[in-house]
């Protein structure tokens, strides 16, 4: 019993040291992974909108490269205006760009970041697609066919 008690005071000091060492090793091992941004899009969908003039869109932009990029604008043949919105508390704010971190992702999801389609030229209907072009600070634009899902689609369940 005495030996266990005597060993304990040293532990709280030892743990932070180990954590710091691990972090340094992680940042130091990326020498072969500092290449340019490599972007791709996953899990894109548009819930069929209730409105005839406005729709929201969601997707995930994955960056497998070692350099960050920024999504700077979105255009679509289906709407005169597509803007980037952040949800802050219970309200949303338009932003001019969003970061796509190196070896990371930019996530648009219900209740968070979203694409806002306004002045729709035609209402997106479930089963159809909406074509968008994503524009970045440094990478080439990406064209994406976003499928239109039901108004209550949940990407977690796929329904
Ligand atoms: Cu919005």
Q: Which superfamily does CATH assign the domain made up of 39-149 to?
A: PCu(A)C copper chaperone (2.60.40.1890)
Half-sphere exposure of 148 toward its Cβ, with a 13 Å CA cutoff?
19
Average pLDDT over residues 123-136: 97
Neighbours of ion ligand 1 (CB under 5 A): 85, 92, 116
How many alpha carbons lie under 13 Å from residue 124 in its C-beta half-sphere? 33
Asked if 151 and 116 count as a contact pair (C-beta separation under 8 A), the reply is no
- CA neighbor of 131 nearest in space, from 116, 142, 118: 142
Contact between 66 and 35 (Cβ < 8 Å): yes
Q: pTM for this structure?
A: 0.78
Cα–Cα distance, 13 to 24 (Å, whole number): 18
Cα 15 to ligand 1 centroid, rounded to whole Å: 44
* Centroid of ligand 1 to alpha carbon of 145 (angstroms): 20
Backbone angles phi, psi at 24, to 5 degrees: -65, -40
Q: Which residue has the tokens 């932009």?
A: 61
**pLDDT (tens digit, 9 = 90+) per residue, 99-115?**
999 999 999 999 999 99
Quote the ligand 1 centre to 111 CA distance (angstroms).
10
Question: Residue 114 Cα, ligand 1 centroid: separation in angstroms?
Answer: 6
Q: Sign of dihedral through CA atoms 7, 8, 13, 18?
A: positive
53 CA to centre of ligand 1 in angstroms: 13
More confident residue, 79 or 25: 79
Kindly tell me if the per-residue pLDDT of 147 is higher than 60.
Answer: yes
- Ligand 1 centroid to Cα of residue 117, in Å, is 9
CA of 151 to the centre of ligand 1 (A): 16
Q: How many angstroms separate the alpha carbon of residue 115 from the centre of ligand 1? A: 7
Average pLDDT value for residue range 89-97: 94
Ligand 1 geometric centre to CA of 18 (Å): 43
Neighbours of 16 (CB within 10 A): 9
> What's the 2 CA to ligand 1 centre distance in angstroms?
62
């Amino acid at each position: 019993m005495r030996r266990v008690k005597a060993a304990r005071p040293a532990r709280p000091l030892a743990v932070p040291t180990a954590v710091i060492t691990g972090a340094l090793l992680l940042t130091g091992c990326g020498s072969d992974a500092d290449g340019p941004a490599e972007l791709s899009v996953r899990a894109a969908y548009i819930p069929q909108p209730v409105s005839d003039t406005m729709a929201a869109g969601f997707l995930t932009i994955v960056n497998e490269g070692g350099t960050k990029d920024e999504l700077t604008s979105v255009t679509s043949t289906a709407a005169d205006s597509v803007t980037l919105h952040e949800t802050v508390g219970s309200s949303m704010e338009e932003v001019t760009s969003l970061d796509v971190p190196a070896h990371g992702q930019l996530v648009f999801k219900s209740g968070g970041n979203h694409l806002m389609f306004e002045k729709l030229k035609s209402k997106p209907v479930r089963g159809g697609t909406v074509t968008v072009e994503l524009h970045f600070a440094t990478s080439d634009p990406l064209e994406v066919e976003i499928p239109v899902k039901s108004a209550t689609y949940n990407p977690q369940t796929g329904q």
